[in-house]
């Protein structure tokens, strides 16, 4: 529970930071001197929710009673469905079959790449730890 609260706070603050930085970049680099207040609030809450979602969902991998395939499936489904819902509600993605298929393809591709990189990294780290344990 302590980890959930800590991760929640980090995610919320990170999402808020991204919202402010994105808005600042659009104003500074986009030459837009005014922003729509309601649009800013809607997008800011989207960033905050995404920050929270992406920092809390890795807790699935801490549940030892679940195997790695189940942890991965739950994490993927939670992140993908959560992000899809917020994206549709905010208007980041338009609702139609083509956009849904593009979203799904991109989500699967990025998730697969991130999962493989993480898996190889932690596999390498465990080899190093085991090697160090054998030496002592």
Summarised one tens digit per residue, pLDDT across range 49-91 is 999 999 999 999 999 999 989 999 999 999 999 999 999 999 9
CA dist., res. 136 & res. 121, Å (int): 23
Cα(7)–Cα(4) distance, rounded to whole angstroms? 5
Q: What is the pTM of this model?
A: 0.80
């Amino acid at each position: 529970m302590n980890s959930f609260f800590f991760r929640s706070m980090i995610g919320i603050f990170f999402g808020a930071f991204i919202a402010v930085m994105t808005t600042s970049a659009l104003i500074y680099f986009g030459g837009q001197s005014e922003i729509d207040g309601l649009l800013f609030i809607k997008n800011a809450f989207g960033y905050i929710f995404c920050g929270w979602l992406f920092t809390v969902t890795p807790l699935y991998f801490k549940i030892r009673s679940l195997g790695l395939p189940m942890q991965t499936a739950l994490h993927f489904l939670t992140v993908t469905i959560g992000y899809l819902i917020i994206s549709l509600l905010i208007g980041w993605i338009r609702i139609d079959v083509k956009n849904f298929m593009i979203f799904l393809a991109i989500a699967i591709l990025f998730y697969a790449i991130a999962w493989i990189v993480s898996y190889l990294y932690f596999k390498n780290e465990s080899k190093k730890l085991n090697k160090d344990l054998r030496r002592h």
